[in-house]
Amino acid sequence: MSASPRFDAVHTANTRKPRQIERILGQDGRPLPVSAIFGMNTFSLDVMEEKLPRPVFKRVTACVKEGAPLETDVADAVAHGVKEWALENGCSHFTHWFQPMTGGTAEKHDAFLTFARDGSAIERFTGAMLIQSEPDASSFPSGGSRTTFEARGYTAWDPSSPMFIRETANGKTLCIPSAFVSYTGEALDKKTPLLRSMQAVDNAAQDLLEALGHERTRVTASLGCEQEYFLVDRAYWALRPDLAIADRTVVGAAPPKGQSLDDHYFGHIAPRVQAYMQDVEQELYKLGVPAKTRHNEVAPGQFELAPVFREANVGVDHNQLIMEVLRRVAIEHDFKVLLHEKPFANINGSGKHNNWSLSTMGENLLEPGKTPNQNLRFLAVLSATLLGVQRYGGLLRASVASHGNDFRLGANEAPPAIMSVFLGEMLTQIFDALEQGDVLPENAEQAVLELGVDNLPTVAKDNTDRNRTSPMAFTGNKFEFRAVGSQQNPAWPCTVLNTIVAEGLKQLTAWIASEGSALKAIKKAVRESSPVRFEGDGYSEEWVTEALNRGLLNLRKTPAALDQLRRDTVIKLFADHDVLTPIEVEGRYNVLVEQYLTQVSIEVDALKIVVDEMILPVSLADRASLADGLGKLLDLKAKGIPVDTGPDVARLKSMSASLTELTRARSALDVAVAEAGHDAHACAAKVVPAAGEVRAAADALEGLVTDSVWPLPKYREMLFLV
Ligand code: ADP
Ligand code: MG
């Protein structure tokens, strides 16, 4: 043991070995391939087929694939089947697994254990228990809507997302992906509005398909979330109260190397990290989450995991599981995973790119097709999407608003807070031609040919290159919504995206009817949405000015963004598409504002702890010992011994200046907190900048105080993993 816990942590972190993980072995003692373990802990359609009587299975399939309602007798049969399966696999408990408005997941476990009439113990699980269960809803946020109506809520299985078994050290639990609603049917969670928005976009897309002369067929929104995260060694984490409390370093001077060399992105993955990733993947495979890619990200210590996309509600569940597994497995590898949008200042933040599209059973509607007819449909859906973003860009911005994400959006490293769409060169030419093109032939199919859309499939994918500065980029056959924060539940941004696109599609369908021509309708949509198309550098200052001229919103901070939820047009949009009632919108607004205030106040608390209990005392002591030393030198000087006290005085001076500044900023923070009170706008305007000033002074001291006494692990130590 050295005298410094920090140096001990450095030693510990640098001498750890990659953790050998337990592979699942086959009969022959060799590790099973992924295909053999994939989904082994999910009650998938395959398992259901095996466990359920044929007619029941057919009706369940209809629920899962076509969204048909779940009848009681089917629920009973499924409940019986899943109970057998869960017991065979060693489960003792079940839980409805749901996504309250807090943003995380929640669960309440119940044992299968019940007692028969004769008093003997048996395991029981019925359709009624599967369809709904009653958690005590009172401690989940509702934003006030619950007091207006009904105090109790229930959770109900979402049959389109498979049940799964979660394994923990001493047992297994059957988890039932569920929606959470009040008894009066109000959504109390993130899943219910998502499911409603999927219905809305399905309805609107089917109407459009019909108007275009295509067959009506179910359309689903798809979602694949690329998840970025940081890893830090647990030994460092334990010495950083800010990481423990706020998941983010509220102080810390930039490391000398940082990401300036750009050598981390796609670089060699450190062995310990690779072992962790493999462990995470194995856990995810068991849960049927198709983890596909892993790589280093831009910042040191930053990584990414992306699964293969699924129907949006399953995609959301998968993302929740990914975050849960990342957290759980990290501990076993002596890491802590940081899912916060901005764990380290001056280092890239983390996002969650939401890849999104619309498809029928067999076709991606955002995929340029082979025939002019398919391509007309493609242009229609694409222009309808743009129209939605044009009209509701502010709402889209609001859907990603959080205190954590405020450090990222517009911070010259992440998409700006201005919502625009990147289409790529080829599509831009086509859209420009549509916008201006009075010369296009009346015949839509002919026009599509002339526009050159039929050449798209071959070139579009490579051509829709990497404009990383766009918040919403078309990437060949899907949109990538990049403004989403890394720790956010993607359900809400996806709900908003589905809803605004549903509106775009609905408008387009109406125009087809009124104009009597699909092409004219598309042109109208292209014209109206023209301002939202932007191909240039989204990080540049010029774009901020230009966007303003184009009339686009630039809502830099969360409270301003959240105000969008109070606009009449937004409230009406949600009501028109049966996604949220006005009361539900109001409830969500209240919860989000409250969350913002809480997040800011947690960070302020963390900052106070770190400054008052660690940085100030250590810095004062260090200054005192400098002063002692100087005193001794001056004594010598007085005795006529020639010593140069210049360096000591200079150091003492700069340290004193920094201490004075820290003390000033620290008092100013208290004043700002008191003045802002419970007002989110004031919090953003006063408290957040005041905290920034405290941080700046603390970081200056980090560069002055003797390294061996500095208590907090430094960026240069935490960020580079071996
Ligand atoms: P890129 O490298 O351009 O980001 P990838 O093909 O690696 O593209 O895909 C990134 C993510 O997008 C993955 O999660 C992938 O499953 C998802 N994705 C691909 N196609 C679709 C789609 N049609 N709908 C939703 N997500 C998709
Ligand atoms: Mg991508």
Q: Is 309 in the pocket of ligand 1 (CB under 6 A)?
A: yes
Please give the Cα distance from 328 to 221 (Å, whole number): 29
User: What residues contact 19, with CB distance under 8 A and at least 6 apart?
Assistant: 272, 275, 276, 279, 332, 333, 334
Please report, for residues 105, 363, 460, 522, 661, the alpha-carbon distance to residue 368 in angstroms, rounded to integers and kept in the order given: 37, 10, 8, 15, 59
What is the whole-number distance in angstroms between the Cα of residue 353 and the centre of ligand 2? 7
CB atoms < 10 A from the CB of 30, how many?
A: 9
Of all ligands present, the nearest one to the C-alpha of 477 is 1
Range 46-67 average pLDDT: 88
Of all ligands present, the nearest one to the C-alpha of 292 is 1
Q: Is 223 in the pocket of ligand 1 (CB under 6 A)?
A: yes
Q: Which pLDDT value is given to residue 440?
A: 67
Q: What is the pTM of this model?
A: 0.94
Q: Is 467 in the pocket of ligand 1 (CB under 6 A)?
A: no
**Which two tokens mark 134?**
């009653």
Show the DSSP H helices in 3-144 as ranges.
Answer: 5-15, 34-37, 45-51, 54-66, 72-88, 127-131
State the pLDDT confidence band at 454, using cuts at 50, 70 and 90: low
Q: Which pLDDT value is given to residue 93?
A: 93
Proportion of the chain in helix, strand, coil states, percent, rounded to 5: 50, 15, 35
Q: Is 715 in the pocket of ligand 1 (CB under 6 A)?
A: no
Please give the Cα distance from 4 to 712 (Å, whole number): 10
Range 160-173 average pLDDT: 91
Residue 367 CA, closest ligand 1 atom number: 23
Q: Are 231 and 350 in contact (CB under 8 A)?
A: no
Chain position carrying tokens 């071959």: 458
475 pLDDT above the threshold of 70: yes
185 pLDDT above the threshold of 90: no
Amino acid, res. 622: D
What is the whole-number distance in angstroms between the Cα of residue 307 and the centre of ligand 1? 8
What is the whole-number distance in angstroms between the Cα of residue 8 and the centre of ligand 1? 43
**Which two tokens mark 594?**
């409250």
Q: Which residue has the higher pLDDT, 243 or 297?
A: 243
Q: Which residue has the higher pLDDT, 322 or 169?
A: 322
Q: Which pLDDT value is given to residue 148?
A: 46
Chain centroid to Cα 459, Å, comes to 31
Q: If 0-12 CB within 10 Å is exposed, 13-18 middle and 19+ buried, where does residue 111 land?
A: exposed
Q: Is 356 in the pocket of ligand 1 (CB under 6 A)?
A: yes
Please report, for residues 37, 50, 52, 84, 108, the alpha-carbon distance to residue 81 in angstroms, rounded to integers and kept in the order given: 21, 9, 6, 5, 21
Q: Is 307 in the pocket of ligand 1 (CB under 6 A)?
A: yes
Q: Which pLDDT value is given to residue 71?
A: 87
Q: Is 306 in the pocket of ligand 1 (CB under 6 A)?
A: yes
Q: Which residue has the higher pLDDT, 141 or 719?
A: 719
- Closest residue (by CA) to atom 8 of ligand 1? 475
Q: Which of 331, 334, 305 is nearest to 319 (CA)?
A: 305
pLDDT tens across 427-441, in order? 898 899 899 876 666
Q: Which pLDDT value is given to residue 291?
A: 94
Q: Which pLDDT value is given to residue 149?
A: 46
Chain position carrying tokens 């403004």: 483
Q: Are 422 and 473 in contact (CB under 8 A)?
A: yes
What is the whole-number distance in angstroms between the Cα of residue 226 and the centre of ligand 2? 7
Q: Which pLDDT value is given to residue 460?
A: 52
Of all ligands present, the nearest one to the C-alpha of 468 is 2
Average pLDDT score over the chain: 91
557 pLDDT above the threshold of 70: yes
User: What residues contact 544, with CB distance under 8 A and at least 6 apart?
Assistant: 416, 418, 554
Please give the Cα distance from 656 to 607 (Å, whole number): 20
Q: Is 249 in the pocket of ligand 1 (CB under 6 A)?
A: no
What is the whole-number distance in angstroms between the Cα of residue 243 and the centre of ligand 2? 28
- Whether the CA torsion 148, 179, 304, 311 is positive or negative: it is negative
Q: Which of 664, 666, 688 is nearest to 676 (CA)?
A: 688
pLDDT tens across 581-604, in order? 999 999 999 999 999 999 999 999
525 pLDDT above the threshold of 70: yes
User: What residues contact 462, with CB distance under 8 A and at least 6 apart?
Assistant: 476
Q: Is 354 in the pocket of ligand 1 (CB under 6 A)?
A: no
Q: Is 482 in the pocket of ligand 1 (CB under 6 A)?
A: no
Please give the Cα distance from 675 to 686 (Å, whole number): 8
Range 514-518 average pLDDT: 94
Q: Are 151 and 186 in contact (CB under 8 A)?
A: no
Q: Which pLDDT value is given to residue 379?
A: 94
Show the DSSP H helices in 399-534 as ranges.
Answer: 403-406, 425-436, 444-451, 456-463, 491-515, 518-528
- Closest residue (by CA) to atom 3 of ligand 1? 475
pLDDT tens across 57-87, in order? 999 888 887 777 788 889 999 999 999 999 9
Question: If phi over 0 gives left and psi between -120 and 50 gives alpha, with beta otherwise, what is residue 120?
Answer: beta
State the pLDDT confidence band at 151, using cuts at 50, 70 and 90: low
- Closest residue (by CA) to atom 17 of ligand 1? 224
**SS3 sequence, 327-390?**
HHHHHHCCEEEECCCCCCCCCCCCEEEEEEEEECCCCECCCCCCCHHHHHHHHHHHHHHHHHHH
Q: Which residue has the higher pLDDT, 716 or 64?
A: 716
150 pLDDT above the threshold of 60: no
Range 509-525 average pLDDT: 95
Which of 306-315, 370-379, 576-585 is the least confident region?
370-379
pLDDT tens across 251-287, in order? 999 887 655 555 666 677 889 999 999 999 999 999 9
Q: Are 366 and 354 in contact (CB under 8 A)?
A: no
Q: Which pLDDT value is given to residue 170?
A: 84
pLDDT tens across 634-692, in order? 999 999 999 999 999 999 999 999 999 999 999 999 999 999 999 999 999 999 999 99
